[in-house]
Structure 1
Amino acid sequence: MDILFSRTLELLVYPPASSLVFIMLGAIFLLTKKTSLAILTTSFAVVTLYFASIPFTTEVMSDMLERTPPVTPELIAEKRPQAIVVLGGGRYWNAPEYGGNDVSGDGGLERVRYAAYLYRNTKLPIALIGGDGLKTGTSEAALMQHTLEQEYIVPVRWTDGRSQHTFDNARYAHEVLTGSGIERILLVTHARHMPRAQKAFEDTGLIVIPAPTAYSTPGPTQSGLRAWLPNARTLTQNNAGLHELLGMVWYRIFH
């Protein structure tokens, strides 16, 4: 599936767009005097938008997705990984303060920052895997390489910019790494993305030591009664969690 089409489809399926669709349906039903259907669709829209926007939902999805504990020095010493593999996490488009060039986005920065931390503690070589699905001319792997080498002063051994999704990430990483005799890896990605990513990589035959980062830990404004108050930032976070849940279903069906 074309990545631009799939991203557009996600926008329509996830709140708030899907909620607006049901609100419009409710208005149509009301105009055609189908009052019961109008109440049903509008109520569904309001309820889904509300639960998609509250930190409580984030906690529920985190319990489902973020079950992999952080990697420890003891585990690294026991499992003896041979390389650190970092998956692309998005880009900041046309950044004006960087001369209008694309640079690593929030998700990518969280991952490369943790990779730099792991490198300083292990000195393992780093592989960056992330493509250019929208054909901008620069892969996410190249953007992450620039960040690691120029900003964190951390060397990068391998990059691969061909992938468009997690399944590709695993396939191309396996191709690159096994050619260099690498079988055991520290896999760096978001905690919510780790179940899907780990499964994809293990299916290629690589031995994966998960090294998740960016857990959805609630802050003071997202705890207690505040966990039930909707906000725009949480809506974005919950959409990312929903993306992972649906992605796991998609992976099971098609891969």
Structure 2
Amino acid sequence: MAEFMDIAPRLLHPALQALLLGGMSMLLVLLRKQVPALATALVAVAWIWFASTPAFALALRDALVTPAPGAMPRADAIVVLGGDKLPVNDWSRATTRAGQGLALWRAGLAPVLLVSGSDQAQALAQGYEVSGVPARDLRIEDTSTNTHENARNSALLLRASGLSEILLVTSPIHMRRAAAAFRHEGLTVSAVPTADTHAMLERAPSWLPRRDALTLTARCLREYVAMWIYRERGWT
């Protein structure tokens, strides 16, 4: 299943699925099976159209999103997961994971700021130090390569310091699985997703195809499959 997660973004993209259906339709034409060929071609066109509509993409997103708590609780630590775009200049932008974590720390909601992920932990830590977070308040977990490892390795670091209550920062779509993985490791989790970035989709005509809607659909489909895999592996 871990190997599947590596290729899932490609397999679960509706554009590739429609392309494969189109190829199947061409094969059926060569085999002189005209009716199945036409039906397959229609399914391919209908699927890529439907998957590209804001209405469908936003419905998939809404079923995944975990709302932020109304009153932000205090915690032992703020955990920021890598995988987002790093700020170029302004680390205080709360639309990013980095900015959200920094805002929580500056608000005094937790004394410790932990960054997790082999791809970005070091860069996040460096950015936070430049932004005024003292090294003594930072914890770096830079060995994890997926959400399960984020949770397991971060929990080990936190428990070593007697910390168990966290504010978890990641993207809205990723939060449901991430929070479940961290709770599975025995931590008390308050979800603090980053700000939604799909305002343009929400204002767009619901049933007219858009490229950004197709991208969101692909991300959501991958997340649904990942959630199923995590349940099967006992990681959530």
Indicate yes or no: 2:140 matched with 1:141. no
1:126 match:
113
TM-score (norm 2): 0.86
Q: SS state of the match for residue 192, structure 2?
A: strand
2:32 match:
33
Letter in 2 for 1:173: S
Distance 2:128 2:55 in 1: 35
2:91 match:
none
Contact 1:163/1:169 (8 A) holds in 2:
yes
Deviation at 1:180, TM superposition (A): 0.7
1:70 match:
68
2:154 match:
173
Where does 1:182-197 land on structure 2 (aligned, <5 Å)? 182-197=163-178
Contact 1:58/1:216 (8 A) holds in 2:
no
1:253 match:
232
Structure 1 stretches lacking a partner, 5+ long: 93-97, 99-107, 132-138
Whose RCO is larger (CA < 8 A, sep 6+)? Answer: 2
TM-score (norm 1): 0.80
Deviation at 1:157, TM superposition (A): 1.0
Structure 2 stretches lacking a partner, 5+ long: 89-93
Distance 1:60 1:216 in 2: 15
Where does 1:1-255 land on structure 2 (aligned, <5 Å)? 6-66=5-65, 68-72=66-70, 74-76=71-73, 80-90=74-84, 110-122=96-108, 124=110, 125-131=112-118, 139-150=119-130, 152-155=131-134, 157-215=138-196, 217-219=198-200, 222-223=202-203, 226-255=205-234
Cα gap change, 1:36 to 1:147, in 2 (>3 Å): farther
Q: Deviations over 1:3-54 (max 9, x none)?
A: 6x64334303322111111101101111211112212221221122112211
Displaced runs of 4 or more, over 2 A: 5-10, 146-150, 152-156, 214-219, 221-224
Distance 1:13 1:194 in 2: 20
Cα gap change, 1:22 to 1:197, in 2 (>3 Å): same
Report the RMSD for the aligned CA atoms in angstroms.
2.3
Number of paired residues? 225
Contact 2:117/2:150 (8 A) holds in 1:
yes
> Percent identity of the aligned residues?
31
